[in-house]
Structure 1
Amino acid sequence: MEDLSGRKFNRLKALNPTPERKSRKVVWECLCDCGETTYVASDKLKNGSIKSCGCQRRDAGKTLQKTLHSEMNVDGVIIPYLKRKARKDNKTGVKGVSLIKTRSGAERYRSTITVKGKLHYLGTYETLAQAISARKAGEKKYHDPYITKLEEKEND
């Protein structure tokens, strides 16, 4: 067993080996720069796949949120959110278009768009193509003004 005591691995400092093993590797008690104690297998320390107790990921998330809310925000609308793809569980494959059943049991496509937390109903259609067309028109009407403002802000 290699002695890692006192060695620094990114934000982690190896303190003591523990009797615990993961995949036949020694698990080390480590102290993170943020003050938290965590336990990491020696191979994960040495190859750099674990760099902190989790604080590095939290810090990166906070930095991203600050960037989104300050630099990519126009009138309270975060522009990258407008450009997101549809969720994986979306049955139509198109953001803002959902498949619904009417009271008679017929299937229709509902088109909606959300801006600044307000849902705008764009209509219910018999075909997916019609619903997609309505969604695209809604994006032009509701999203494009904010996207244009951000582009103008970046060019100034």
Structure 2
Amino acid sequence: MIAETVCSAVSAAGLGIGVVTAYRRRFHAAARIVAYSLVPVGLVMTGVVGWLADTAFSPTAWAGFGVLGAAWLLFAGTRAVERRRAGTGPERKAARGRRQEAVTPAGSAPALGQETRPAARPAAAPGNSGSGDDFSDIEAILKKHGI
């Protein structure tokens, strides 16, 4: 009875705020406020609020939640034990050894060959500091990438 009264009061307050918002010509926001304020009344009319109130104050319902929690803990605990046991067996160690063998030792070598640094350019002549140096850098980069 109290839950239904509280939901009705919340809905009435929401409808009042919606009317004030519509009066200020914010119709989109007013429609959204009215929609939210109708939800508690709808829950009361469908009986959801009464069911929730009966469940919240029922010792049997709380005992049922406790039993469900204990069942969940048992499932989680047995699963953890299964995982731990599967990690220490000889089959697991053999699978781990096969996995390490699959990696090639040369897998981390550069794909373009053994050279990791580009070859050093000869120093430019002092009187030759034109725009040719800019293009030689670009050409070196393109040659490095095979373009």
When normalised by structure 2's length, the TM-score is 0.27
Q: Could you tell me the TM-score, scaled by structure 1's length?
A: 0.26
The answer to which structure has the higher strand fraction is: 1
* Richer in helix (by share): 2
Which one has a bigger Cα radius of gyration? 2
